[in-house]
Amino acid sequence: VYRHYEYLSACLRSLADQGDVSFEIVCVDDCSPDPRVTALMAGLTGQLPGLKVMVLPSNQGISLAQNLAVEAARGDFVAFLDCDDELEPGALSVIGGKIVAHP
């Protein structure tokens, strides 16, 4: 997460309607200069099931932030969702079904 406060809530809300699939959310606040981003992430901690928030003390760039998120993730598969993107309802469920059907 870096800036994009105006999209962040919609991005996270898009994860709520993903069907019958188990997943975790790992957000890395890459020292966003917008204090609203940090406040939103802090407010969601403990409120959104499966959410892990990491806050970097200085901006490290998207590659390092994504690598840290992957290291923190516990699942077998990883999908990236940028903070200004949204998933279609059921997208993870569809992908999960494809993985089961074609391991």
pTM: 0.86
Distance (Å, rounded) from C-alpha 1 to C-alpha 89?
A: 22
Residue 25 Cα distances to 72, 101, 103, angstroms: 10, 24, 23
Query: With contact defined as beta carbons under 8 Å apart, do 40 and 8 qualify?
Result: yes
What is the model's pLDDT at position 79? Answer: 93
pLDDT in tens, 21-80: 889 999 999 999 999 998 998 888 877 778 899 999 999 999 999 999 999 999 999 999
Nearest CA among 56, 72, 67 for reference residue 24 = 72
Residue 1 CA, chain-centre distance (Å), reads 8
What is the model's pLDDT at position 58? Answer: 96
What is the model's pLDDT at position 44? Answer: 84
Q: What are the two backbone dihedrals, phi and then psi, of residue 96, each rounded to the nearest 5 degrees?
A: -60, -40
What is the model's pLDDT at position 64? Answer: 96
